[in-house]
Amino acid sequence: MSATASAAPLLQAKDVVVEYGTRRKPNRVLHEVSLEIAPGECLGLVGESGSGKSTLGKAILGLVPVAGGSIAFDGRDITHASGRDRRALAADIQVVFQDPYGSLDPLMTVGDILAEPLATAGASRAEAKAVVGEMLDRVRLPKHVIDRYPSEFSGGQRQRIAIARALVRRPKLIICDEPVSALDLTTQAAILDLFIELQRDTGVSYLFVSHDLGVVRRVCHRVAVMYRGTIVETGDGEQVTGDPQDAYSRRLLMASPVADPALQAERREAWLALRGERAA
């Protein structure tokens, strides 16, 4: 897989700081985080739960305030974009969340879920219907599902609907926040293949947030590893997920499950050694 080459990044985060808590007693979650995403590129952001990776995605989306640093999108500073500007940005920046069961309104039909962003943008009913049909085709769902409700679908099908919703306004960037972690392995593989296909066909960029090096190896051009709110390693996807240089990145690799029991045992021994522990 190769990303589209470009002199200017589509997204550029520079020295981003995010703090929770109060002004008197702040809890710093992101420590001067910097990364870039090129047009047509998939950047994997990987780390354990609590590492701050989802917080960075929320900062880009404007869902948490940025205490320091800057975020630029398509050459424009969006660090402290107003509510009005954020609504305009929704045409270019979308998100697919982790939970395919909680991310879709259970009281709306699939057709209404997909048409709502288009109606908000001023599309006519005919225009919305055409785009909805096209996006259902792209995510491999039949058009007759438009009259059905989310509860009638499996987790994988719901995530396809969520991906279609993210695509309807033809964004330039999609934040994918653990989009396959709630799915079984077979369904994960199918959804990852769909992400790859959609990027090839549309040129959309992804920030692909995950705790699983195996997942990001499959879909990402480059990978950034986050540990306790800091980027500890960034590089080519195959290199970082196959031969990482940072000790924390190596621990993540050793912790990744593999099908071969003997290899898994070797990885466990190596993981324990990296932690400075003695294997039983």
pTM score, whole prediction = 0.87
Q: What is the pLDDT along the chain (280 residues), one digit of tens a residue?
A: 445 445 589 999 999 999 998 888 889 999 999 999 999 999 999 999 999 999 999 999 999 999 999 999 999 999 999 999 999 999 999 999 988 788 899 999 999 999 999 998 899 999 999 999 999 999 999 999 999 999 999 999 999 999 999 999 999 999 999 999 888 889 999 999 999 999 999 999 999 999 988 899 999 999 999 999 999 999 999 999 888 889 888 888 877 655 555 655 665 565 555 555 433 3
CA distances from 243 to 100, 208, 235 (A): 32, 20, 11
C-alpha–C-alpha distance, residues 98 and 183, integer Å: 9
Q: Taking a C-beta distance cutoff of 8 angstroms, is the pair 106, 144 a contact?
A: no
The distance from CA 164 to its chain's CA centroid, rounded to whole angstroms, is 15
Residues recorded for the chain? 280
Q: What torsion do the CA atoms of 120, 134, 180, 44 make, to the nearest 10 degrees?
A: -80
CA distance 224 to 222: 7
